[in-house]
Amino acid sequence: MKNFIRVLIMMFLSTACTGIQTLPEAPKALVAYEAPDWVVKGSGAYSDDGGKAFFGIGSATGIKNYSLQRTIADDRARGDLAKVFEFYVASLTKEYQASTTAGDFKNSNDEQEVEVALKVVVHSTLHGVTIIDHFEIPERRELLSLARLDYDAFKRNVDTNESFKQLPEEMREVIKERADKLHEEMEQEVEDLFIEDKKLF
């Protein structure tokens, strides 16, 4: 009888031990992987060694086929950059509209012409997007891609675009000046967030 009780106790203890769950390790932050700055900065408008630019980041996780994973990450980076650039142009258009006199029919027509011209510029500029870097995190089976769009290419397209050339010169200069200012503001926002992220780790 004593042996039977001992066996029962041993069985109970062995099942109790196997039932204890260990907590998984907390996921690492991106900076813990010694990632390049662009991984931590994220998408947006800022400068790199090549000058002012717009950036988008794409990620693909858990895909065994490396070529497919890279293609998906690259496509997502291009899509992310398109959103950044379209936000930039929409902000630029709103700023211009806010600076014109409300209720003036001529200004309303000018605003429409500016909007149409900028849409054409956006379409032609987005063809210049290039993938310039990748970062792999094997532990997470994740691949990150960085897409870049040169700011000077955007400015060149503004200068050479036929729709834009038809706008009055003063209007073109105002838009280009605001474009520079808006890029600087967006860059400052990215830098401020980047500094805050660095402080956290």
Whether 8 is in a domain gets the answer no
Residue 145 lies in a domain: yes
Cα(144)–Cα(41) distance, rounded to whole angstroms?
A: 13
40: in domain: yes
pTM of the model: 0.73
Name, of 77-81, 111-115, 182-186, 187-191, the range with top average pLDDT. 77-81
The yes-or-no verdict on residue 80 having pLDDT over 90 is yes
- How many domains are contained in the chain? 1
Q: Is 173 contained in some domain?
A: yes
User: Is 48 among the domain residues?
Assistant: yes
Report the chain's mean pLDDT, rounded to a whole number.
Answer: 79
pLDDT of residue 5: 59
1 within domain boundaries: no
Q: Tell me the pLDDT tens digit for each residue of 57-69.
A: 999 999 999 999 9
Domain-embedded: residue 105: no
Note whether residue 9 is domain-resident. no
pLDDT, tens only, 108-163? 666 677 777 777 777 777 888 999 999 999 888 999 999 999 988 888 887 887 87
- The domain in which residue 149 lies consists of 35-98+111-188
